[in-house]
């Protein structure tokens, strides 16, 4: 395993970057819910026909739902998958979980964080409170109860978790792979240091001095590849560039309610759009421009989210 | 899509004094009252009623509470409106600072969060909640979204305010959950003390039918809304109802109702309720102190 990535120029194509993700890999998805999810990379994973992916992450939405719908996923180890009060349960994920076509290993945010930290710290496990007394442990035979050697307390030891790949979408990076990230960072930083490999898509590849001025959150040596994909988080948001595309998300959730709808959606927006340029053309310039108008006024923002 | 226009609660015109209010407004105001001034309070994602309750508390009786917004982890933001999704910059507006994910969860783990709001598809008599699955977890009848951070946080957060907006369905308040995602006062594996949990567990359970506290780790009905009968609560509740001391929920402060309407013009809170519940309307008495009648 190479522990650092030192090439001077890591800018590559989406297809080449995603070719590095293998069937069966443990994949961490950046962002959360309707926010900064790596949707262009999700679409490319589906185009390349990836299978049996083991997803890990916190509270997510369409990224997980779409990958599951496309049959790319073997295991879902997320703390939540859905669309909150916005559109409710994630239809494709729900169907797959109920019929057993994906293995559910539901996790909890702090548990996952501690597992990533153990990988970052280079130790085999971390202890957590919680889990005991709940049903979560039944899905995780890898957890173990331990007694503190210092206080006699019983805790749950959760093993180090080092994803094979972390997929993160960011506003900006330089060609060496220094990445500027916006808050909330969610688990993006932790994924970066815990994972064996990090692939980053960005709204814009920028000069090194500009990224440094914005503030580097992910340093170049941890990042394997950089791909410039404007609107690479669409239909989730990537502030300050654009808010989330609520209409598109709603249309997906409606389509995802049955196999026919899923097939139609994938054919139109994923397999039928062989590149992200083609995908964006389908969404339309006007719509994309609208999503950037969130900061015009509170009224406009509210309108875009209603 | 579905939110537009849903926020207008009554016939009153903008700027006119508030005379009528609805159950979603009353419930949010009641949830706000479970917050004590000076507490550090957190809500999870997908929790519009809790979000609103916290902002109402901060702007009325609890100006010194530390409001940690769910998902963005923004400190004391001033959103112009409540969005339909919680990981959104609109919930960071005017926040001086946002915590990192790990800062928030570490705070919770070491007992630094005083209160958290939790809900669930099922809530049992001990205040355990299920947001994972209805039916057997290995082959669920309904796979719910999942618990986010609740499983760990419910062990260590100082106190929990639970809420449910579908009590009347008969499926929400149950004797025992099909699956325990977040921990209440006891499970078949033992009490909180036996399990080594540092937080005090559920303190309040606010529903659209009434308000419970917990006595010896069991939910106890303390108040019901004036348009609800004890018999209705009993038939909707899956555990034996302890109601020996039940009174009427005091009416919300008109200021609180005005604040929450302004805060939630899209009516996102209303999405937590069934359509029939949203038809329930209430009025203040002429002296403004008690709820006179329900229309």
Could you read off the pLDDT of A15-74 as tens digits, one per residue?
999 999 999 999 999 999 999 999 999 999 999 999 999 999 999 999 999 999 999 999
Q: At a CB cut-off of 8 Å and minimum separation 6, what does B193 contact?
A: none
In Å, how far is A274's CA from the nearest CA of chain B? 30
Query: Would the CB atoms of B148 and A80 count as touching at under 8 Å?
Result: yes
- What is the residue range of B36's domain? 20-290
In a domain, B15, yes or no: no
Residue B261, pLDDT above cutoff 90: yes
In a domain, B6, yes or no: no
Chain B residues touching A130 at Cβ < 8 A: 151-156, 183, 197
Q: What are phi and psi of A264, to 5 degrees?
A: -60, -45
Domain range summary for chain A, segments of one domain joined by +: 14-106+162-295
Query: Would the CB atoms of B98 and A184 count as touching at under 8 Å?
Result: yes
Chain A residues touching B3 at Cβ < 8 A: 306
Residue A135 contacts B, CB cutoff 8 Å: yes
CA dist., res. B278 & res. B6, Å (int): 10
In Å, how far is B87's CA from the nearest CA of chain A? 6
pLDDT value of residue A260: 98
User: Number of structural domains, chain B?
Assistant: 1
Nearest to A129 among B46, B196, B268 (CB): B196
Name which residue leads in pLDDT, A282 or B19.
Answer: A282
pTM: 0.95
Residue A291 CB burial class (10 angstroms; 0-12, 13-18, ≥19): buried
Q: What are phi and psi of A149, to 5 degrees?
A: -70, -10
* CA A242, A246, A251, A255 torsion-angle sign: positive
Chain A residues touching B102 at Cβ < 8 A: 113, 117, 190
Could you read off the pLDDT of A132-169 as tens digits, one per residue?
999 999 999 999 999 999 998 999 999 999 999 999 99
| Window A:185-244, CB contacts with B under 8 Å | 185-187, 189-190, 237, 239-240, 243-244
Could you read off the pLDDT of B17-47 as tens digits, one per residue?
678 999 999 999 999 999 999 999 999 999 9
Query: Would the CB atoms of B90 and A301 count as touching at under 8 Å?
Result: yes
- Among the residues of A122-245, which ranges form H helices? 188-194, 208-214
Q: In chain A, how many H helices and how many E strands?
A: 13, 12
Chain A residues touching B179 at Cβ < 8 A: 135
Query: Would the CB atoms of A111 and B196 count as touching at under 8 Å?
Result: no
Residue B208 gets which letter from DSSP?
A: S
In a domain, B10, yes or no: no
Element (H, E) at A170: strand A165-173
A240-244, B195-199, B232-236 — which is least confidently predicted? B195-199
Query: Would the CB atoms of B84 and A190 count as touching at under 8 Å?
Result: no
Please, are residues A130 and B183 in contact by the beta-carbon 8 Å criterion?
A: yes
Residue A228, pLDDT above cutoff 50: yes
CA dist., res. A33 & res. B175, Å (int): 32
In a domain, B169, yes or no: yes
Q: Average per-residue pLDDT in chain B?
A: 92
Query: Can you give the CATH number for the domain in which B153 is found?
Result: 3.40.1080.10
Q: What are phi and psi of B20, to 5 degrees?
A: -120, 155
| pLDDT band, very low/low/confident/very high, at B8 (cuts 50, 70, 90) | very low
Nearest to A132 among B45, B48, B189 (CB): B189
pLDDT value of residue A271: 95
Interface probe, candidates B24, B79, B148, chain A, greatest A C-beta count within 10 A: B148
CA dist., res. A131 & res. A209, Å (int): 46
- Among chain B residues, the shortest Cα distance to A90 is held by B145
* CA A296, A302, A303, A304 torsion-angle sign: positive
Chain B residues touching A129 at Cβ < 8 A: 109, 152, 155-156, 196-198
| Window A:60-79, CB contacts with B under 8 Å | 78-79
| pLDDT band, very low/low/confident/very high, at B291 (cuts 50, 70, 90) | low
Upstream peptide bond of B12 is cis (omega within 30 degrees of 0): no
Could you read off the pLDDT of A110-125 as tens digits, one per residue?
999 999 999 999 999 9
Question: Is the domain covering A14-106+162-295 a CATH 3.40.50.1980 domain?
Answer: no
Element (H, E) at B25: helix B23-32
In a domain, B257, yes or no: yes
CA dist., res. A12 & res. A145, Å (int): 45
Residue A248 contacts B, CB cutoff 8 Å: no
| pLDDT band, very low/low/confident/very high, at B237 (cuts 50, 70, 90) | very high
In a domain, B295, yes or no: no
In a domain, B265, yes or no: yes
- Among chain A residues, the shortest Cα distance to B153 is held by A130
pLDDT value of residue A4: 85
Element (H, E) at B51: helix B48-59
Chain A residues touching B45 at Cβ < 8 A: 33, 59, 80, 84
- Among chain A residues, the shortest Cα distance to B99 is held by A184
Could you read off the pLDDT of A76-87 as tens digits, one per residue?
999 999 999 999
Residue A1, pLDDT above cutoff 70: no
pLDDT value of residue B32: 98
Query: Would the CB atoms of A59 and B108 count as touching at under 8 Å?
Result: no
Residue A251 contacts B, CB cutoff 8 Å: no
Residue B198 CB burial class (10 angstroms; 0-12, 13-18, ≥19): middle
Chain B residues touching A153 at Cβ < 8 A: 196
CA dist., res. B77 & res. B60, Å (int): 15
């Amino acid at each position: 395993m190479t522990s650092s990535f030192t090439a001077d120029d890591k800018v590559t194509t989406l297809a080449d970057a995603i070719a590095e993700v293998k069937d069966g890999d443990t994949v961490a998805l950046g962002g959360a819910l309707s926010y900064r999810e790596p949707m262009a990379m999700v679409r490319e994973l589906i185009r390349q026909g990836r299978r049996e992916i083991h997803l890990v992450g916190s509270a997510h939405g369409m990224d997980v739902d779409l990958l599951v719908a496309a049959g790319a996923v073997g295991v879902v180890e997320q703390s939540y998958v859905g669309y909150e009060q916005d559109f409710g349960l994630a239809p494709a994920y729900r169907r797959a979980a109920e019929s057993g076509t994906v293995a559910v290993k539901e996790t909890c945010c702090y548990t996952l964080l501690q597992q990533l930290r153990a990988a970052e710290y280079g130790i085999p496990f971390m202890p957590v409170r919680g889990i005991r007394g709940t049903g979560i442990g039944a899905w995780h035979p890898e957890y173990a109860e331990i007694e503190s050697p210092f206080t006699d307390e019983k805790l749950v030891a959760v093993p180090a978790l080092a994803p094979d790949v972390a997929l993160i979408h960011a506003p900006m990076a330089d060609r060496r792979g220094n990445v500027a990230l916006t808050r909330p960072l969610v688990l993006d930083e932790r994924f970066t240091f815990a994972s064996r490999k990090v692939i980053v898509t960005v709204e814009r590849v920028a000069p090194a001095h500009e990224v440094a001025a914005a503030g580097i959150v992910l340093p170049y040596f941890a990042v394997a590849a950089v791909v410039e994909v404007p609107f690479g988080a669409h239909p989730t948001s990537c502030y300050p560039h654009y808010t989330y595309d609520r209409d598109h998300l709603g249309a997906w959730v409606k389509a995802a309610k049955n196999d026919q709808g899923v097939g139609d959606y994938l054919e139109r927006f994923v397999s039928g759009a062989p590149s992200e340029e083609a995908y964006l053309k389908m969404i339309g310039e006007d719509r994309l421009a609208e999503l950037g108008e969130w900061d015009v006024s509170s009224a406009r923002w509210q309108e875009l989210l209603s | 899509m579905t939110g537009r226009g849903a926020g207008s609660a009554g016939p009153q015109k903008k700027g006119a004094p508030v005379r009528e209010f609805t159950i979603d407004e009353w419930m949010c105001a009641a949830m706000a009252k479970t917050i004590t001034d000076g507490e550090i309070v957190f809500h999870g994602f997908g929790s519009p009623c809790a979000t609103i309750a916290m902002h109402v508390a901060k702007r009325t009786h609890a100006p010194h509470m530390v409001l940690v917004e769910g998902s963005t982890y923004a400190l004391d933001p001033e959103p112009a409106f409540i969005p339909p999704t919680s990981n959104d910059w609109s919930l960071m507006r005017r926040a001086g600072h946002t915590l990192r994910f790990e800062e928030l969860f570490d705070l919770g783990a070491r007992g630094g969060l005083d209160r958290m709001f939790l809900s669930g598809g099922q809530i049992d008599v001990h205040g355990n909640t299920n947001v994972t699955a209805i039916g057997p977890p290995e082959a669920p009848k309904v796979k719910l979204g999942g618990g986010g951070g609740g499983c760990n946080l419910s062990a260590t957060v100082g106190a929990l305010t639970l809420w449910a907006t579908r009590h009347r369905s008969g499926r929400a308040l149950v004797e025992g959950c099909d699956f325990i995602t977040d921990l209440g006062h006891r499970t078949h594996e033992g009490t909180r003390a036996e399990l080594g949990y540092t937080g005090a567990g559920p303190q309040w359970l606010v529903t659209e039918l009434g308000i419970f506290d917990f006595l010896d780790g069991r939910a106890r009905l303390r108040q019901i809304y004036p348009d609800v009968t004890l018999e209705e609560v009993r038939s909707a509740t899956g555990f034996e109802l302890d109601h020996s001391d039940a009174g009427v929920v005091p009416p919300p402060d008109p200021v609180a109702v005005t604040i929450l309407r302004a805060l939630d013009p899209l009516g996102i809170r209303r999405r937590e309720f069934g359509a029939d519940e949203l038809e329930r309307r209430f009025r203040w008495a002429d002296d403004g102190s008690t709820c006179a009648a329900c229309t």
